Amino acid sequence: MHVKTITTTPFSDQKPGTSGLRKAVSVFQQAHYLENFVLAVFDTLGNVSGKTLVIGGDGRYYNREAIQIIIKMAVAAGFGRLLVGKGGLLSTPAVSCVIRKHRAFGGLVLSASHNPGGPDGDFGIKYNIQNGGPAPEKVTEAIFQRSKALAKYRIAETPDVDLDRLGKSEAGSTAIEIIDPVADYADLMESLFDFAAIRKHIAAGFRVKFDAMHAITGPYAREILVNRLSAPQDCLLNATPLPDFGGGHPDPNLVHAKELVDMMFRADGPDFGAASDGDGDRNMIVGKQMFVTPSDSLAMIAANSTCAPGYSKGIRGIARSMPTSQAADVVAKKLGVPCFETPTGWKFFGNLMDADKVTLCGEESFGTGSDHVREKDGLWAVLFWLNILAVRRQSVADIVRGHWREYGRHYYTRHDYEEVEAEKATALINQLRSSLASLTGRRYGRFRIVLSDDFSYKDSVDGSESHQQGIRVIFEDSSRIVYRLSGTGTKGATLRVYLERFEADNSRHDQPTQAALKELIDIADDIAGIRRHTGRDQPDVIT
């Protein structure tokens, strides 16, 4: 086997975000672009001789070509063993599962998550560390610094690996194993949930629909829901992964999963609906004529956690991202466990889980999970809900309304202004930051501001600090407005505005969410000048 050395020059834009490096496909297809970033990762890891690397992605456009490049560079770097998902496929939570089960050194996840795919879409890559979770900031920063100082990379001149045939091969001193992308993950799910109870509930006539959005979770849902839980084949929608996600936007929300939502809100609709995203780490839960917000879903899973065998002894604690509603805090208080508030980004939960401080974690952006892996996990959340429903024998709507009666309702919404010109979005946030000191004490109608700040976080495990994680405006009655610029898109900037108001009165729990939050929505624009800065009269997506 011959290893070739290729001269290269650095790219200035390879700084990983909270979910790795995401760019348009055309950017990754530039000569040396992917290779430079992969080398920066390998160089940052140090001596990888003999170590195990997991490789897989969500099947989006350029996935297969990228994997062949990565395999050849990993061989040249001296990895001892490569575990590659068949067809180049592995969901993000499955990568975490495989890393942990096989005690791998780490893994490369090829995905841009919920972003569109295809030749004109997006691509992404991130490194997950030995615990199965996304690399922490100190690692991603080191990768970025290394990417700016590259002069050459090494790549093995070996034939492409047959990604579609299970089995083992060798290239130089590296063992390459094409693995079943679903088996390890499905076995883990069966160890956590009462599959017999769920199977019995489905057999009794409980109707399920799952929308894989032509993304990675189709094969996982088929193995688990159909093969192991005996749901009918037609419970699956859009279950074949496609490089362009069938031309759709694989983001499981009320806008992009409209086919499923419309089905669930029909009078004769199924009893339970769910969807997952491009790489399988997000979820949407919908009952018959009842959408469950991700924030409520986290709280309700926590409140009913002992329904599932894997959590029958209770939970140690809950962690939520700062913009996520405070519904989980109320449940944690009643259960007598801590609730941690972190910045957005699943990597912030890893230390808390590794230190056994929390069991459940969640983000308002349709991400929920637990310490079974170190990623958010869409199908895990779906199975948890199915387990709860099988045990309680109530409808989704009855469980949701019963929860509100017991804990109160946190009216909550997120308004997304997508592809805003970066300069305009930055100007809006900078003006907000400069006005924070003057906001406290100000009154807007019946709402008086008691705190306005730019959220900072100090990790209770390793002491690391993160600053400027979102602008919070908190009112006297605990209502909140949060403003953030999202790092998950590749075009312009996405301004996210989060609004929350608590309602204890049971007789006021059935108001339409946007109507219940109308005053705060108007105040959010008054404070930030959203229309003035962005030129937008309304958000692109409301969830």
Give the separation between CA 519 and CA 444, rounded to whole angstroms: 9
Q: Please return the burial class of 207, using the count of CB atoms within 10 Å of its CB with bins 0-12, 13-18 and 19+.
A: middle
Bridge partners of 290, per DSSP, are 287
The candidate with the shortest Cα–Cα distance to 489, out of 14, 11, 17, 13, is 17
111 catalytic residue (yes or no): no
Give the separation between CA 219 and CA 121, rounded to whole angstroms: 22
Residue 38 backbone phi and psi in degrees, to 5: -60, -45
Strand ranges, E, within 255-408: 272-276, 283-287, 290-292, 318-321, 339-342, 360-363, 367-370
Angle at CA 368, nearest 5°, toward 128 and 83?
30
Structure-block tokens of residue 447: 């709402």
Angle at CA 379, nearest 5°, toward 327 and 273?
75
Kindly list the distances between the CA atom of residue 305 and the CA atoms of 82, 292, 356, in Å, as whole numbers in the listed order. Answer: 36, 17, 17
415: left (phi over 0), alpha (psi -120 to 50) or beta: beta
113, 297, 370, 479: which is the annotated catalytic residue? 113
408: left (phi over 0), alpha (psi -120 to 50) or beta: left
Angle at CA 65, nearest 5°, toward 61 and 66?
90
Give the separation between CA 293 and CA 309, rounded to whole angstroms: 25
H/E element holding 39? helix 33-45
Structure-block tokens of residue 347: 């990597």
Number of H helices, E strands in the chain: 18, 27
Kindly list the distances between the CA atom of residue 123 and the CA atoms of 57, 61, 113, 128, in Å, as whole numbers in the listed order. Answer: 10, 8, 9, 17
Strand ranges, E, within 158-207: 167-171, 174-179
The candidate with the shortest Cα–Cα distance to 382, out of 200, 221, 271, 196, is 221
CB atoms within 10 A of CB 487: 15
Is residue 369 a contact partner of residue 375, using CB atoms and an 8 Å limit? yes
Q: So which residues are the catalytic ones? A: 113
